[in-house]
Amino acid sequence: MLALLHPGFFQVSKGNAELILDEWRKVIFKSMTSVTDPETNPEANIELEDAEQQAAKFERVREAHKTEVAEDYVELIDDLINANGEARVVELAERMGVSHATVNKIIQRLQREGLVISKPYRSIFLTDEGRALAQAARRRHEIVVRFLKAAGVSDATAEIDAEGVEHHVSEETLECLSALTLKIEK
């Protein structure tokens, strides 16, 4: 019987304290071993997938993490240019919720990657490659948001969740989400 259910649990004396501790040790040991012991837990006998396949999955996630910042920035730069005719560091910092120094470092990286053109104290502009990346990111974002809303997620939550999901879905998944959205919306 579990120590918590022991009738004398709340009346610990020198005589029953050791008994209660022994019961707890048994419970904890049993819970720890039952998870990994194939004889007591048939699900414990898990077969691992091929190492190369597993590594490829993790590599895809790492690549998505590398590009998500660039995608978010070029998408925002494109939005600012379309709304205001220009994108400036101060506005990027405000809208991203980061410091000017952080924005400057990221803009330098985006310049090295050929996505933006920028000069000190001047506006930031997208290259053709940067515009293409912004459009692709916006398309993915819109597909994910539409799907989440069609599935019943509130507008605000769908927008927030899409920011994380949009960078980590494959083109195949986007096509399926888009098709499912059309079915749900009918």
> Each residue of 8-27: pLDDT tens digit?
444 444 555 555 556 656 65
- Tell me the CATH architecture of domain 51-129: Orthogonal Bundle (1.10)
pLDDT digit string, tens, across residues 118-171: 988 889 999 999 999 999 999 999 999 999 999 899 999 999 999 888 888 889
Number of C-beta neighbours around residue 89 at 10 A: 20
Percent of the chain at pLDDT > 70 equals: 76
Q: Which residues of 105-137 are buried (b: 16+ CB within 10 A; e: fewer)?
A: ebbeebbeeebbebeeeebbbbbeebbebbeeb
Percent of the chain at pLDDT > 90 equals: 49
Task: Categorise residue 141: left if φ over 0, alpha if ψ from -120 to 50, beta otherwise.
Answer: alpha
Q: How confident is the model at residue 46 (pLDDT cuts 50, 70, 90)?
A: confident
38 pLDDT more than 80:
no
**CA-to-CA separations, 130 to 55, 73, 74, 113, 134, in angstroms, rounded:** 29, 10, 6, 9, 6
Q: What are the residue ranges spanned by the domains of the chain?
A: 51-129, 132-185
pLDDT at position 11, please? 47
Highest mean pLDDT pick, 36-40, 86-90, 171-175? 86-90
Query: Looking at the domain 132-185, which fold is it?
Result: Diphtheria Toxin Repressor; domain 2 (1.10.60)
